Each structure stands twice: as C-alpha cells, then as structure tokens.
C-alpha cells in the first residue's frame, strides 16, 4: 500500500490546508467581531426568506447545539430574529433583520476582495482534477458515515 495513502498524510495535509485558510479568513473578520460561520449564515439568510435551525446546522456542517449557539450570538447582536412557524409552533424560523442586512453590506463593502487563494498555483486542469478527486473522497466519506450509522442502529 502507498505510504502517503496509508499513513494519513493526505488527511493531515488537507486538514492543515483547511485550518490555515480558515485562520487566514477569520483574521480578516476580527475587526467586525464576527466568525466565519456567523457571516456564512448571514449571507445564506440574505438569499432566503428564513431558515430553520436544523437547516442551519446542515448548512454550517455542525451539530444542532452548535448551530443554536451561533443563532443566539447573532440574536444578541440583533442580526437575526426567531419567529415561530405559523403551521407548527415547535419550529422557529430564523430571519435576517434589517440590522443584519446592513451589517452584511458593511462587511462586503469594507472588506477588500481576496486576490489570492491556496489554489491559484494550480492550472485549470489540475484544479478540475483536484475537484474531481475531492468529490470522489467526499462520496466515500458519505458511504463510511452511512455504514457507521447502520452499525449503530443495529
């Protein structure tokens, strides 16, 4: 078996790249006192009328309690409101406020666009190949998760 494949070196390299890029992006947001996840949620809410907390957790790739903390922090800043669903009182709709929209506009107008990214060293062909390979790995990860869920359910 290939050493790089079997040693976890690929996973380590992908994780490192992700974490370093995330840190870089988060540093750009420090002056706005907002996290990447919070900004991502505000941007998503700006495209939709509302989102449910479970949809937010799915969108942010986090568990429901983490999504709840993110929502509560945005509520404290008056960027989002929670509104009971008219059809089912168990559900709350998360809605972007006017203050949230204004904040989003301020961030986008103040933050200079990124001119670089870690993938700009790749050719178009290399980018397409990497994307295809990562997609293949992502599908495999979904299979692993589904197989694990079946085992836990038995």
The residue-averaged pLDDT of 75-85 equals: 95
The residue-averaged pLDDT of 39-54 equals: 95
Task: Verify that 55 and 32 share a domain, yes or no.
Answer: yes
Confidence of residue 148 (pLDDT cuts 50, 70, 90): confident
The residue-averaged pLDDT of 107-127 equals: 93
Task: Verify that 81 and 23 share a domain, yes or no.
Answer: yes
- Domain total in the chain: 2
**What residue numbers bound the domain in which 111 lies?**
3-118
For helices 36-47 and 64-76, what crossing angle results, to 10°?
A: 80
**Taking CA 68 as the corner, what is the angle to CA 138 and CA 75, rounded to the nearest 5 degrees?**
125
The residue-averaged pLDDT of 95-115 equals: 95
Task: Verify that 90 and 146 share a domain, yes or no.
Answer: no
């Amino acid at each position: 078996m290939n050493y790089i494949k079997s040693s976890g070196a690929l996973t380590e390299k992908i994780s490192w790249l992700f974490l370093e890029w995330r840190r870089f992006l988060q540093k750009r947001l420090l002056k706005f006192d907002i996290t990447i996840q919070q900004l991502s949620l505000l941007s998503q809410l700006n495209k939709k009328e509302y989102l449910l907390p479970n949809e937010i957790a799915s969108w942010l790739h986090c568990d429901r309690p983490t999504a709840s903390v993110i929502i509560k922090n945005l509520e404290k800043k008056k960027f989002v409101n929670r509104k009971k669903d008219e059809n089912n009182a168990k559900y709350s709709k998360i809605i972007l406020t006017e203050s949230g929209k204004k904040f989003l506009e301020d961030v986008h107008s103040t933050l200079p666009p990124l001119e670089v990214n870690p993938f700009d060293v790749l050719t178009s062909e290399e980018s397409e190949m990497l994307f295809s390979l990562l997609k293949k790995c992502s599908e495999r990860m979904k299979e692993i998760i589904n197989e694990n869920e079946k085992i836990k359910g038995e």
